[in-house]
Structure 1
C-alpha cells in the first residue's frame, strides 16, 4: 500500500510513526511545506522569551530521525498543489527548485493544521507586524527584536498564543500592550476565572484593552502607530506606538487543498470527517487542527485546535488506514487545555458557561456550578499555594465542564476531572475518587473531593447559593442583604459594598440582630465559613444563601477588567520588569523624616496560609519589631501582593519591596510609627482648624458633611464634628438591640434610622426609591459611600463628638453608637469652636 501524508507536526507525524510500527512493507511518503516536520509549536513563545534556551530542543522529530528510524520518505519544502481523487494522484511542487511532479496513492492523510487568522487591519502587512505559527516565524520575531532593540510591543489577541507572547515580551522588559476584541482573555474559561488573570496582568504592568480592536497600523521611521477602536466602532479613538506587533487573534482550519479535492467543508469548523477520520471522499482522511470534530459532551460540531486531539487522531487513523480489526472510532474532543499566564496556571476541560448559555441553557434550571478555593497541598507543609476550581453540572449530576486557576496543582485537578468526564462519573462521585495523599503533594481531602461534597450539597438542597453576578440584582430587590462573616481584620482589607458584618465566631450570640424577614447572602473569604454560617442560619429558621466562591472570587471581578493608559508619560527604555531589592542589614534606610542604622531583618514564612493568614502573620510579627526593623515575609496567596500594599498604607509602615517568583510573594516591610499622609501636616494653629455641627439626619446632608470634613483633613486641617439630635442617627450601629430600654425609648429607636446605611434623602425620597437611585448613581460615578467616608474620616484622625444631652433625649446608649467617638456637651463643642477658623451648621 502506498500512503501519502500531507503535513507533519502532531497528527501527521504521529500517524506516520505508527503506520511504520505496524507494517514494514507499506510505502509511506510525508510532505511538509516547511523545513521541519515535527516541532513543539506550543514552545515557540518561550524560546522568544529566553525561557527555553536551546532552539533545537523544540524539534520533536527531525527529518533525519524520521528517515533513519522509521524508513519514511520525508520531503520537506514541498507543497501539494492538487489532489486528483479520480486518478488517485497528487501534484507536488518543490519550493526550492520550483519543479512539479505527480505521485500516486492508495490512501492519503491530510494534516495541514490551522492558519493564523489575520483580522482586516489596514497596514497589517507592515514589516513590524508578525504572526507566530512555525519555527520560521519565531526566528523572524527574535531577529527583529534583537536587531531593533525593541522596547514597545502590541499583541493583537488574548488567546493562548497572545497571552504566552505577552508574558515573554514582559520577561524581555518590553512595554507590552494586549488588544482583545472580546470582553475577557482566554475564551475557554468563564469571566470570573479570567478576571483573576486580568488583575495579575495589571500587576505585571501589561496594558490591556478589552472589547477593543486594532483598525490600522501606520509605519513610521522608528516605530509604527497602532490605531485602536472600541468594539463596534469604526473610528479609532486611541493611538499607541509600537516597535513590534504580533497578530495573534486566533487560527482557522486550513482547508483549501481538501476543498479542491471535493471534500465536504464546514463553513466554520474545517474539513468534515466521520468517526473513522475519513472525509466525504473515499480514501482521503484528515486529522488535527484542520478538521471538524464532535464535542465529547454535547455532540455538537466544533473545531478545537489542540495537540492532544491531533496526536490521538494520528494514532487512531493509522489503524483505520490499515483496516486493523481492532480499529477504534474517534469519540470526540473535550477541549482539555492548560496555560501558564504570568503568575497563574489556568486550565479547563469540557464546556464553559458561555457555551451553555449560547446553546440556550439556563443556570439554575439546566445546570449548576460549584466553585471552591483550596490549597495545592496540605497548608502546613511548605510551598502550598491557593487554587480555585469550578465545576459545571446538570441537575442529574452529569459533569459538563471544569475550570481551575492557581499556581500549582491546577493541572492535576483538571486532569482528574477530565478523566472523570470520560469515565462517565457523576459529579457527586468525585468525592469517591481515592487520590494519593502525603503532605508535600496533597491534602487528605483533595480539592476534587471537596468539589464532589459541595456539588452533592447543591443537588440535595443542603445549600442554596448566590453567585457574584447576582449580588447587585438581589440586594437591589430590598429583601436580600449581604452578611460578611469574616474577621474584622479581613474586612479591613476589603469587603463587598453594603450589608452587615458579624464574625462567624460571634454569630450565634448575635443572631437576634438579624431580621427573619430578610434573606442573607452570607460570604467569607473562600466559602467554607460562609457555608458554616449558612447551615447555622437555616437551622435556626433564618433564610440564607451562601456566596459561591466567596469574597476571593468576587474581588478581582469587581475591578475594571481593562488596564488602559498605564504607559502614558513613561519611557519604554526605562521599563524594567525584574527589579531586585537586596536588603543589607548595615544599610541605612531613610524615609522622609527618619533615619535608621543597623537595621535588623526578620524572615517569616507564611506560605500555605489562606487570606487573611499572611496579613495576620504580618501584623503579629511586626508587633515584636522595633521601629526601623524590617520584616521579610513570604506568602503563597497571590492576593497577598495587593493586600500587603493596602495594609502598609493603612498602618503607616513602609513597604520597601514586593516581588513574586514561582508563585511565592516576598514582601519587605519596614516598621514605622504611623505618620500623617504625605503632604498632610497637623497644625496647632487655630486658623487651621474646622468645626462642624451635624444636626440633620438626612442622607444628602450627612453625606455633604463628611465630604467637606474629609476634604478639610486632606488639606491639613484639624476637624471636629459635633453630632446632635437627628444627626445622631448616622452614628447608630445597624444591628444593635438594647432590650433594657423603656417603652418610649424603644419607640424612638424603632422610628428612627439605624446608622448611615439607613438614612434617607431630604427631598425626592419617593418611599426609598430616591435613596436607592442616589446610591446607585454614587456607585456608578465611583463616589465613596457614606460608610466609607465615615471610616476614612476616623482613620485620618477626624474627631466626632456626640452631644451627651441629645443621646439621652433620643433614648440612645453609648453601646448603641459606633466606636471611636467622644461624648460631650455644649462646653466641649464651644471649646472646639473657639479654636476653629470657622464653624459650619448642617
Structure 2
C-alpha cells in the first residue's frame, strides 16, 4: 500500500489529496496543515470583510471532518512540517496544539507551502491596527477589528488586485479609503494606459490614492495611526491593510536541498517534479517556465494551483504521464463598478524581455447598442508584427469582460494568432453581444495594421514627436472638439474630410484621432487613398489619450470631510438640505450611446425645457462624467447632481435663466468676466501666488490668461529640455537663470537655497501642491499661458525649452485678453 504525504492544503494541496483518493482507494494519504483550515475560498475573503458574503461558513469549502468522511484522508491541522529528510524519506512534524514532535515516513511527498505576505522592516509596522490578508485567520482578525473599533478611515498599502478589492470592501463598510502605491499606476499586470482607466474610475468613487509614493513609518497618535509617506505627507487612519505583495515560502524545501529557480521559487520539471524524484511541488511556491518567454516565473493564482494538484496526483499514482504547460497568468478583478482582466504579457514586460510587438486598443459596447443597457469596454491586445501571434490582452468594462478575456486566453494558450480571434464563433443575440464580438473586432483591427491598411501610433509615441513636424487632425464633431481636444489639433469632421482635403498638409506626418478610433480609421483610409501616405491613427482615440495624459492620482479629497450629528462622515461642507421644490423633471436615457451621443442628446433635450425645469439624463459612456460638467459651464446651465453607480452615470441639469439686459443696454453675459495677469518674476513665492490665483479663478469657470515676460519665462521652462543652439549671450543668460520651476528661489530668506528647500518641505507637510504641479493643474483647467516673444528673443529662450501647452505671443495678444477681463494683475 502506497503512502502519500502532502504538506499544505488550500487550493493545490487539497485538490491533490482529493485526486489521489479517487485514483487510489487503498493508499494512505496524510495532509499536514499548520493552520486551522485546509480548504477555503481564499479569493472570497475580502468580500466577507465587506459584508457582501454574509456567512463565514460559506468560505470553508472543506473541513478535516468532511475530508475524512468522504475521501478517507487523514488531515492534521495545526501541525507543521519542520524538516524534510530526503535520504530517509521522512518528515519531522511539530503539533502546535500539544507541543509534541514526531516523525512520519512517505513513499511520495507533495509540497504546497504557498506564499507569504511581504512585510518590510518599516518603523511601526507591527502596530495592532496593521493587518495583512492571506488566510481565514487574517480575515477573522480584520473582521473583529472592524466590528469592535468601527474605524472611519482606512489606508491600503499596495494597489494590486487584492489591495483594490480590499479598498472597495472597506469603502462599502462606510470608511474613507486611501490607497498608497509605490508605482506610477495601480494593478501591475496592466499597461499604463489601461491602468489610467482604473484611476479615473476610482476618482468617481471618492477613493483617495497616492501614486509614486511609499511608506516611511507608522506612528501611533492617541486613538489613531499616522502613516508617514516618503514624500513627507502624513495620513491619519484607524486601520491599515498591507497588500504589498507576496513571495514564495521556500525555507523548508531549501533546507532540504531542493533546487530553487533564480526568482526564488521551487524549480520543477514538466511533471511538476523537483530534483528529488520522490518529491513533487505545486502552487504559489513553484517556479515554472513561462509559455511565451521560457523564463521561470511564479503564478500566484488559484486556477493554476488547482490544475497542478490534479496533474501531480496523476503523476504520483500512474508515473509521469501528464505534463504541465505553464500559466499565462489570466486574472480578473472587480473594482467597484468595473471589471478589470488581463492575460499573457503586458507591453512593458515584452519590452523588458526584448520581444518585438504591436499593440492595439479598441473601445466599444458590451452588446448591441440598439438594445437597452449596452455598457462600454476597452480591449487592448498585443501581438507579433509579422505572424500576428498573440502575446497578451487586457480588458476593462462593466459587462462581459470575463467571457472575452477567457476567449483570448484560450487562443493564447494554443499559441494562436489574431486571425484566430477573427474566426471565433460566439453566441450572439442583442442582449449579449454584437454580430462582431469585441474579440472578433480586435482581430479585424489587428489584421488591418499587419496588412498596412492602418498605421497606428500610441499616445506615448505621439507625445514625443516634434509638434513642428506633425499635424494633429481631430475628426470628431465641432461640439466634441469644443468640449476637449489635444492641444494644437485642427478639427475637420470625418463626414466632411473629402471636401476639405486641401486643408490637410502633405508635408507633415498626420496623426488622426476621434473619440475611440473608428472614425479615425475611416478618415485615415480616405487620406491614404488620396495620396497622403504618412497618416497614423491614434490608438484608442481621444478617450485613451485623455485618460493617460490627465492627472492620475487623487490626493486630499477628504480634507473637507466632516462628522455630522448622526456620527457619519460626510464629504464636502455641512450645508442645510434644501426642501424639495416643485421642479418639473424629465428623464432621458442615453445609455449605450458613445461620445458625442450623450452630449448631443442632452443638448437637444435641454433646448425643449423652460428656465428652471430640470432634466435627469442617464448615460453609460464614462466620458459623460466630465463632459456634462464642461457642457454646463459652457452653456450657462446648472449641474444639480452627478452620480455614478454600476456603470450608469446620472446627471440632473437645470436649465439656466435667460440673461436680462442690464442698465445701459449691456447684458450680464457681455460684461467682462475673465482674469489676466502678467508674470514678470521668477521668485518661488511670487510664482506660487500667481498659480494659486490662476487656479482659483479657473475653478470658478472664468477664463484665465497668464502672460510670462522676462524673468517670468523661467517659471514655464521644461524640466528636461532638448539641446538648443544659442548665441553667446543666450548661453550666458541660460547659465545665470533658474533651469525650471523646480529651481526657483524665494524673494526673501532664501539663504543660499535653504529657504526654498524649507518652503517646499513645509508645503509637502501641509499638503500644498508644488509650483510644478500647480502649473500642470492650471493647464489642465484651461488656463491660457502665453510667453512673450520679445522677452524670449532678448533672454535667449527658445520655444523648445518651454513646457507643452504654452503659446507664443506678443503684447497685442495679451491686451486682447485684457479687454475681456475685469481683473488684471502684475506679479
Shift of 1:199: 1.5
Q: Aligned-pair distance for 1:267?
A: 4.5
Aligned counterpart for 1:655 among listed residues 621, 639, 648: 639
- Structure 2 SS opposite 1:322: helix
Structure-1 residue corresponding to 2:46: 45
CA offset digits 1:15-56 (Å, max 9, x no partner): 111111111111111111111111111111111111111211
Match of 2:244 among 230, 249, 253: 249
> 1:124 & 1:65 partners in 2: Cα distance?
38
Change (3 A) 1:137 1:685: closer
Q: Which of 415, 419, 433 lines up with 2:410 in the alignment?
A: 419
Number of the residue aligned with 2:263: 268
Residue of structure 2 equivalent to 1:352:
346
Mapping of 1:53-132 within 5 angstroms? 53-132=54-133
State the partner residue of 2:629. Answer: 645
Q: Is the 8 A contact 1:116 1:248 kept in 2?
A: yes
For 1:121-157, what per-residue CA distance to the aligned partner results, in whole angstroms no more than 9, with x for missing partners?
1111011111101111111111112211201111111
Deviations 1:219-249 (A, max 9, x none): 122001111004xxxxxx1111111111110
Assess if the C-alpha contact under 8 Å between 1:761 and 1:770 holds in 2.
no
Q: Within 5 Å, which residues of 2 pair with 1:403-418? A: 403-418=394-409
Question: How many angstroms apart in 2 are the aligned matches of 1:77 and 1:489?
Answer: 67
Aligned to 2:648: 664
SS in 2 for 1:263: coil
Match of 2:583 in 1: 599
1:620 aligns with 2:604: yes
Counterpart in the other structure of 2:22: 21
Given that residues 786 and 809 in structure 2 are in contact (C-alpha distance below 8 angstroms), is that contact kept between their aligned partners in structure 1?
no
The counterpart of 1:558, out of the listed 518, 540, 549, is 549
**Alpha-carbon deviation of 1:685?**
12
Q: Residue 472 of structure 1 corresponds to which residue in structure 2?
A: 463
From the superposition, tell whether residues 508 and 605 of structure 1 become closer, same or farther in structure 2 (CA, over 3 Å). same
**1:613 and 1:684 mapped to 2: Cα distance?**
35
SS in 2 for 1:265: coil
Distance 1:492 1:786, change over 3 A: farther
Unaligned runs of 5+ in 1: 231-236, 590-596, 695-706, 722-756, 801-835
1:762 alignment counterpart: 789
- Residues 760 and 768, structure 1, Cα contact 8 Å, conserved in 2: no
Q: Which has the greater radius of gyration?
A: 1
Over 3 Å counting, the alpha-carbon distance change for 1:790 and 1:175 in structure 2 is: farther
Secondary structure (helix, strand or coil) at the match of 1:625 reads coil
**Could you tell me how far apart the structure 2 residues matched to 1:565 and 1:73 are?**
54
Cα distance between partner residues in 1 of 2:663 and 2:254: 76
| Rounded Cα–Cα distance in structure 2 between residues aligned with 1:837 and 1:161 | 52
* CA 1:839–1:170: 2 relative to 1, 3 Å: closer
Instruction: Please say if 1:147 is aligned against 2:174.
Output: no
Query: What's the CA shift for 1:282?
Result: 2.4
Partner secondary structure for residue 474 of structure 1: coil
- Asked if structure 2 preserves the Cα contact closer than 8 Å seen for 1:690 and 1:839, the reply is no
Shift of 1:324: 4.9
Equivalent residue for 1:300, pick from 269, 275, 295: 295
Tell me by how many angstroms 1:681 deviates.
Answer: 13
**Aligned partners of 2:785 and 2:807 also within 8 Å:** no
The answer to whether residue 508 in structure 2 is matched with residue 518 in structure 1 is yes
Distance 1:588 1:786, change over 3 A: farther
Whole-Å Cα distance in 1 between the matches of residues 324 and 803 of structure 2? 55
Runs of 4+ residues deviating >4 angstroms: 576-579, 680-686, 688-692, 709-716, 757-761, 764-771, 783-787, 836-840
**TM-score, normalized by length of structure 2?**
0.81
Whole-angstrom CA distance in 1 between matches of 2:698 and 2:663: 9
Q: CA deviation at 1:176?
A: 1.3
- Alpha-carbon distance between aligned partners in 1 of 2:181 and 2:697, rounded to the nearest angstrom: 42
Distance 1:50 1:610 in 2: 35
Structure 2: 5+ residue stretches without partners: 677-690, 706-783
1:370: Cα distance to partner?
Answer: 1.0
Secondary structure of the equivalent of 1:632? strand
Distance 2:698 2:335 in 1: 40
Distance 1:642 1:618 in 2: 14
CA distance in 1, matches of 2:395, 2:822: 59
* Aligned-residue offset at 1:786: 8.2
1:233 match: none
> Residues 370 and 99 of structure 1: is their aligned pair in 2 closer, same or farther, counting only changes over 3 Å?
same
The size of the alignment, in residue pairs, is 718
Give the structure 2 partner of residue 724 of structure 1: none
Residue of structure 2 in register with 1:158 after alignment: 159
**Counterpart contact for 2:789–2:808, Cα < 8 Å:** no
Residue 771 of structure 1: CA displacement?
5.9
Greater displacement, 616-625 / 306-315: 616-625
**Counterpart-to-counterpart distance in 2, 1:620 and 1:187:** 43
CA distance in 2, matches of 1:711, 1:182: 28
SS of the residue corresponding to residue 258 of structure 1 reads helix
Shift, 1:683, TM fit: 11
Q: Secondary structure at the match of 2:464?
A: helix
| 1:383, distance to aligned residue in structure 2 (A) | 1.4
Q: For the residues of structure 1 that align with 2:593 and 2:319, how far apart are their CA atoms?
A: 55
Query: How does the TM-score come out when normalised to structure 1?
Result: 0.79
